[in-house]
Chains A and B, each alone.
Chain A
Amino acid sequence: MSQIVFIFFLTLTIAVFSYSAYRIYRFFNLTKPAYPVKEIGKRIKLTIENAFFQERIFRKPVAGLMHAMVFWGFCIILIGSIEMVIDGVSGQERSLAFLGFFYDMLMAAGDVFAYIIGLFIIIFMIRRCCLNIPRLHGKELTKKNHFDAYLALSLILILMITLAGINIFYVASHSDYLGKFPISSMIAPVFAGMSYETLVLIHDINWWTHILLIFLFANILPYSKHFHIFMSIPNVFFSRITPLGKLANMESVTKEVKIMLNPETAFATAEAEAVSRFGILDVEDITWKNYIDSLACTQCGRCTSVCPANITGKELSPRKVIIDIRRRMNEKGPKLIKHGKDYSDGKSLIRDYITEEEIWACTTCNACAKECPLNIDHPTFILDLRRYLVMEESAAPAQLNAIFSNIENNGAPWQYSNQDRLNWTL
């Protein structure tokens, strides 16, 4: 009976999750190419360093260590969760116990991590609500964002409490239990007075609560900022591996410029395909990398906390522009799928979400990109917004239009004659 119930919930979970994944897959189909994913060896190395060893997160050592412990704990506990699924489907108990010593180690580590993570989650909650950490309270964060954060922390806390419950009451109800549970086995004797039936019942309640919450959590994630849990490792793997200072070349522009510089070839290449739009105006112009960045972002605000523009009170917040991508995709994506790529709702990412003031405040210093633990690339996205404004609307600030004409006319951003270029030697 319990197997049937379990399989029902598992199937339901997989079905709903597949729907969510398909929805996001279709959003990805709306995006444009970014760069070819090459140098797989380098990417694997990067993923190991940044994701599994949590290199970037340690740029803030205290919060970093706590996050790393939670991450490593999750990795271990995940194996235990897989065992629970196997147990649930097969009706067995502790089906991975045949792994012997390895199993003992796994269970022991998982047991210790359950308590550590539980403790850290409580600290995270206190930190979020009671300590005044500016990056956790940016004005760009909505009520839903804050609710998401507390919901995720609460769910994880309950998951850890129930995991501890499973371990404690499993040990308490078995004299010959499998695996090792260093902390839970110390707590278990407290409940020695209870009857076997009661212990098993409490164990089962914890077990079911734990696994059903995991199923629920998995299906909340695709609609929450904590989709991070699924998307961050892929985001690191697919991140741009060229130097931070490098901007991608716009091939479509190169074709036009070559025609301008060398008109004889104009006829030969006149067939060059029409470019729909230079730069990014709206969500249909973004690349798959911009979109995966927005899905992986967990709104930690490390980027914004180091942004020179934001620190000095400007409107720009790198976190916000990344969140805006996802918000806009959620709004316009379904309609683009339904009505085709020419659909317009009279709004756009620029202006309705990201103002020109924000776009022009960036110094391209790359502090945000360097800080992001997931290698989110904010500056190149902001640059693509500028490319739209300048090349499609000629909407640069007046002072920048002045340097454009200076560069065109005398080959320098300032208005000096080329003939004076050696005056510095005098």
Chain B
Amino acid sequence: MSEALKSKIEVPIMSEIFAQGKKPEYLFWVGCAGAFDNRYMKVAKSFAYILNHIGADYAVLGTEESCTGDPARRAGNEMLFQMQALTNIDLFKMYEIKKVITICPHCYNVLKNEYPDLGADFEVISYLEFLYLQIKRGKLKLDKSKLQGKRVTYHDPCYLGRANNIYDIPRNLINELGVELAEMPRHKSFALCCGAGGAQMFKDAEKGTKEIFIERTEEALSVNPEIIATACPFCMTMITDGLKYKDKIDEISNLDIAELIATAMI
């Protein structure tokens, strides 16, 4: 797998596909982190690699994609959020998009729960829900020996967990990998935030006695994992920073669930 991800992968572009008179079943919404964050670009690539592997009928917006407006809204800038949202909704309508897959939980939440208030009419699916469905349908098969016996802990992103009650699907996916899932003391609805939500990702934290990401990383380390699985670009930045801070980055890997699946995929 890792070899395949070193070279360029082909992804269908919505404008090109649409010009051929075709309408892909899914729009893969990459999100700004998937497009621009060096680490998370690899997650986007892993997920596209899975989509290609199972022959999913999808496309990406490419250069036409733009921020959902979520960080602006969470930072109180409703005006900017709505400008982004209304522009994006027009684009979705133009391409007659009916199903959207997101990898970023913040995009997932805003597209699913908040865009409908502004006239959006499409189904929004988290990549985790999509992947699990493909496994259930037998389209996606995993080789359990690839990661067998690895000790994995999963950090719940707030915007999948508490915000949208997605707790079991990521765990089901991790269990499909044949690994050993070790839960942190605070998990599922009790999970501690990584510290990046609500636009905190883009600013320094207020004065305090500790950084939130260190508190959370220490909790993850307390269960002695070999892999810390995340499912959100901001969580990934935070946990990876935490591992660097604790000088554990060489021993413990912080991987997205899509990367784990891509590794074990047959």
Contact = CB atoms under 8 A, between A and B. Distances in A.
Interface of A: 59, 242-250, 253-254, 256-258, 260-261, 278-279, 306, 308-309, 311-316, 357, 360-367, 369-370, 379, 383, 385-391, 396-397, 399-400, 402-404, 407-408, 411-414, 416, 418-426
**Size category, B interface:** 35 or more
B76 A386 contact: yes
Interface string B127-163: 0000000000000000000000000000000110011
B34 A363 contact: no
Given A407-B71, A424-B41, A412 B114 contact: no
Contacts of A426: 8
A272 B45 CA distance: 46
Kindly list the 10 A-B residue pairs having the minimum CB-CB distance in the complex, ordered from nearest: A245-B163, A313-B209, A386-B76, A364-B198, A411-B66, A365-B193, A390-B76, A424-B41, A313-B208, A249-B117
A261 B117 CA distance: 17
B75 interface: yes
A249 B114 contact: yes
Nearest to B61: A421
Contacts of B165: 243
Contacts, number: 219
Given A407-B72, A418-B63, A420-B36, A391 B197 contact: no
A207 B118 CA distance: 60
A230 B203 CA distance: 41
B184 to A, nearest CB: 14
B76 A308 contact: no
A412 B86 CA distance: 16
B197 A424 contact: no
B263 interface: no
Given A306-B192, A361-B205, A421-B63, 15 more contacts: A245-B159, A246-B109, A248-B117, A256-B79, A313-B207, A361-B208, A365-B193, A365-B197, A386-B74, A388-B76, A389-B76, A396-B76, A396-B77, A421-B36, A422-B11
Contact of B67 (A383, A385, A413): A413
A114 B76 CA distance: 50
Contact of B208 (A258, A314, A403, A424): A314
A227 B265 CA distance: 57
Interface string B73-95: 11111111011101100000000
A351 B197 CA distance: 23
A34 to B, nearest CB: 15
A265 B161 CA distance: 41
A257 B205 contact: no
A260 B83 contact: yes
B51 to A, nearest CB: 12
B201 to A, nearest CB: 8
Nearest to B65: A421
Contact of B206 (A257, A357, A387): A357
Contacts of A256: 79
B32 A413 contact: yes
B18 interface: no
Interface stretch (B19-27, B210-218, B240-248, B252-260): B210-218
**Max count, chain A CB within 10 A of own CB: residue among B45, B192, B196:** B192
A408 B80 CA distance: 7
Contacts of B60: 422
B203 A413 contact: no
A370 B86 CA distance: 30
A315 B67 contact: no
Interface in B110-130: 113-114, 117-118
B164 interface: yes
B195 interface: yes
Contacts of B189: 370
A217 to B, nearest CB: 35
Contact of B118 (A249, A313, A418): A249
A408 B63 CA distance: 15
B175 interface: no
B87 A261 contact: yes
A424 B34 CA distance: 7
Given A363-B200, A411-B66, A312 B209 contact: yes
A215 B122 CA distance: 56
B32 to A, nearest CB: 4
A399 B204 CA distance: 8
Contacts of A279: 76
A308 B74 contact: no
Contacts of A420: 35-36
Contact of B66 (A315, A390, A418): A418
Contacts of B35: 412, 416, 420-424
B228 to A, nearest CB: 17
A146 to B, nearest CB: 24
A49 to B, nearest CB: 15
Contacts of B211: 312
